[in-house]
Amino acid sequence: MKIMHTGDLHIGIKFNRYPDHIKDKLVKARIEVLDRLVSAANQESCNIFAVAGDLFENIRVSKGSIIEVLHILNGFEGECVLILPGNHDYDDGLNDLWKRFKEDMGDKIILLNEDKVYDLQPYDLNVNIYPAYCNQKHSDTNNIGWIENAGEINNHKINIGIAHGALEGTSADIEGTYYFMSRQELEGIPLDLWLLGHCHVRYPDVDEPLNQKIFNSGTPEPNGMNHNREGNSWLIEIQADKTIVSKSFKPGQFRFYDLEWEVNSEDDFIMLKNYLIDKDAGNKLVRLSLFGSVDEELLRKRQEYYNLFEQELLYFAYEDTEMRRKITKEIIAREFNHNSFPHKFLDKLSDDRETLQIAYELIRQVK
């Protein structure tokens, strides 16, 4: 049996901090990546397409977005689609999101919004699903507790848990308000496989994990500067003896880069250019913080590199207030009288660049 495991698509996110022409591309990419995932699942002859929470950005997405998503999901050619409400698109039984969703979802889509075992036998799959969905945005306890009290697990079936929450070691949930789960807690429940969502990075962080039963999908399409990796989903195969074979699938279009870069010579700018400018440059969004000390010529020339980045990248923003002019003996001689104390003092420091830089800036402030 094969599964396409994904989550955290956040369809409906606005990206309002970006210019309109970029925002429109990023919004559209959330839908496009879902289409690519379904197409890939069909090509791989997957039996199950599983979304482990946060299919939508919030509970107020438009009816049009819901219909568009359902149209894509209904194109899955396998046995069934499993949709788990996450903490962004939680199901408290009161909001309209999942009511609207259920109105138009096809027969093979299953909304996992109850604390119960979902038997997939009607879909010709010898599988039991144990969901831990979110019923509010924040919670200091996870929702897998009911599974421990669900009765004896049928080992003649494939038993799969699907949960949304912060997995220990993969997500910075310092206050424990995002349905925190430990690996020990998950491993203590004798299921064959856990499919998780919430953290936007994959777990485990290897392309083809071995002997693994716990998977966090990560987001298939990165959506912010705090996520500077490729998008990820998992293709998982459960063999007859319940051995699990898996491989990372990277369907994302865009990449975000939040970089700090030290520049002390033009070679450092050239290295930065080679790192950022390639055949995929038009799909990169970059926020750059530069620091270091450079000569006067490069300080003037740096704008040429910025112009190149703005031209080639989808989005480029920079901060270079920590990139300073490199102080040399020539500058000292030009700016201070030869017999003055500043000249003599700075000249003695000329072999210690860092101290010279600090001393020069302090003297300039006093002057």
pLDDT at 252: 97
Rounded to whole angstroms, the Cα distance separating 263 from 321 reads 12
Q: Are residues 75 and 108 in the same domain?
A: yes
Query: Tens of pLDDT along 107-144?
Result: 999 999 999 999 999 999 999 999 999 999 999 999 99
Q: C-alpha dihedral over 155, 160, 166, 171, to 10 degrees? A: 100
Rounded to whole angstroms, the Cα distance separating 124 from 155 reads 17
pLDDT at 269: 97
Q: Are residues 73 and 209 in the same domain?
A: yes
Q: Are residues 239 and 105 in the same domain?
A: yes
Instruction: Identify the domain boundary among 192, 215, 249.
Output: 249
Q: C-alpha dihedral over 94, 95, 98, 103, to 10 degrees? A: 90
Q: Which of 172, 237, 160 is nearest to 201 (CA)?
A: 172
Q: Are residues 144 and 282 in the same domain?
A: no
Q: Which domain holds residue 138?
A: 2-249
Mean pLDDT of the residues in the chain = 93
| Distance between first and last Cα of the chain | 75
Q: Are residues 81 and 118 in the same domain?
A: yes
Cα distances (Å, whole numbers) of residue 147 to 53, 87, 132, 155, 168? 18, 19, 8, 15, 19
Counting the structural domains of the chain, the total is 2
Q: Are residues 260 and 298 in the same domain?
A: yes
Query: Tens of pLDDT along 78-90?
Result: 999 999 999 999 9
Which residues, including other chains, have CB under 8 Å from residue 83's CB and lie 6 or more apart?
51, 55, 73, 101, 109, 110, 111, 112
Rounded to whole angstroms, the Cα distance separating 306 from 313 reads 10
Q: What is the average pLDDT across 149-162?
A: 94
Q: Are residues 310 and 181 in the same domain?
A: no
Q: Which of 18, 81, 69, 99 is nearest to 314 (CA)?
A: 18
pLDDT at 196: 98
Instruction: Identify the domain boundary among 219, 249, 279.
Output: 249
Rounded to whole angstroms, the Cα distance separating 275 from 362 reads 35
Which residues, including other chains, have CB under 8 Å from residue 256's CB and lie 6 or more apart?
222, 223, 224, 225, 226, 227, 228, 284, 285, 286
CATH, residue 156:
3.60.21.10
Rounded to whole angstroms, the Cα distance separating 12 from 51 reads 16
Rounded to whole angstroms, the Cα distance separating 197 from 203 reads 10
Which residue bears the tokens 């990277």? Answer: 250
Three-state SS annotation for the chain: CEEEEECCCCECCCCCCCCHHHHHHHHHHHHHHHHHHHHHHHHCCCCEEEECCCCECCCCCCHHHHHHHHHHHCCCCCCEEEECCCCCCCCCCCCCHHHHHHHHCCCCEEECCCCCCEECHHHCCCEEEEEECCCCCCECCCCCHHHHCCCCCCCCCEEEEEEECCECCCCCCCCCCECCECHHHHHCCCCCEEEEECCCCCECCCCCCCCCCEEECCCCCCCCCCCCCCCCEEEEEECCCCCEEEEEECCCCCEEEEEEEECCCHHHHHHHHHHHCCCCHHHEEEEEEEEEEECHHHHHHHHHHHHHHHHHCCEEEEEEEEEEECCCHHHHHHHCCCCCHHHHHHHHCCCCHHHHHHHHHHHHHHC
pLDDT at 348: 73
Q: Are residues 135 and 283 in the same domain?
A: no
Q: Are residues 213 and 345 in the same domain?
A: no
Question: What would the two tokens of residue 330 be?
Answer: 């020539």
Which residues, including other chains, have CB under 8 Å from residue 347's CB and lie 6 or more apart?
329, 332
Q: Are residues 205 and 262 in the same domain?
A: no
Q: Are residues 28 and 150 in the same domain?
A: yes
Strand duo 48-51 + 233-238: pairing:
unpaired
Q: Are residues 72 and 160 in the same domain?
A: yes
Q: Among 197-206, 217-226, 351-360, whose mean pLDDT is lowest?
A: 351-360
Instruction: Identify the domain boundary among 223, 249, 275.
Output: 249
Query: Tens of pLDDT along 246-291?
Result: 999 999 999 999 999 999 999 999 999 999 999 999 999 999 999 9
pLDDT at 101: 97
Query: Tens of pLDDT along 294-333?
Result: 888 999 999 999 999 999 999 999 999 998 887 666 766 7
